[in-house]
Amino acid sequence: MARKVAVIVGSLRKDSLNRKVARALVAHAPDSLTCSFVDIGQLPLFNQDEEQDPGPAGVAFRDAIRASDAVLFVTPEYNRSVPGVLKNAIDLGSRPYGHSVWSGKPCAVVSASSGGIGGFGANHHLRQSLMFLDMPAMAQPEAYIGGADKLFDADGKLANPATGEYLAKIMRAFAAWIEKNLA
């Protein structure tokens, strides 16, 4: 039985490096994972007054996460933290209190940037929220992908086979992590 993985990209940019990384990760996923992108760009801003009924986009988002077995987060770093749109999605899915769609779902965090430290700050800042949300986050291999702007050709395809092997290693480890945590 294939495990359903919700893939959330923390960047809305049309030519997002993180979306390219996410696509490459999905392309290198083992057959035991069925990955689906869950868009966060049209989610309403979280408002506690409306947490019971966050509108059609919010309800669809919560349903998509609830239906998944695990979550793969792929995020850039903005000001040493996660992008606001990703934090908004996390908050929207965590409410109302006691009804979080995140609880117990194994997850992995991959961060990528054109800089040398590969989104290290965002990766660890996100993990802080995930721990509170009761999401077992895969610790190894760590995935901070620096120089991401040099990994893809003009068509958005990986330019280096060694990078594909590394991404496949991440996805194999994630598949094993999911099984370990859902057993």
| DSSP output for 68-85 | -SEEEEEE--BTTB--HH
Contact 68, 6 (CB under 8 A): yes
pLDDT value of residue 117: 86
Query: Where are the chain's structural domains?
Result: 3-182
pLDDT value of residue 165: 97
pLDDT value of residue 116: 86
pLDDT in tens, 108-117: 999 999 988 8
The H or E element that residue 34 is part of is: strand 33-37
Q: In the beta sheet, which residues pair with residue 74?
A: 9, 110
Cα-based distances in Å from 39 to 27, 32, 182: 18, 22, 25
CATH architecture of 3-182: 3-Layer(aba) Sandwich (3.40)
Average pLDDT, the chain: 96
Low pLDDT (below 70) residues in the chain? none
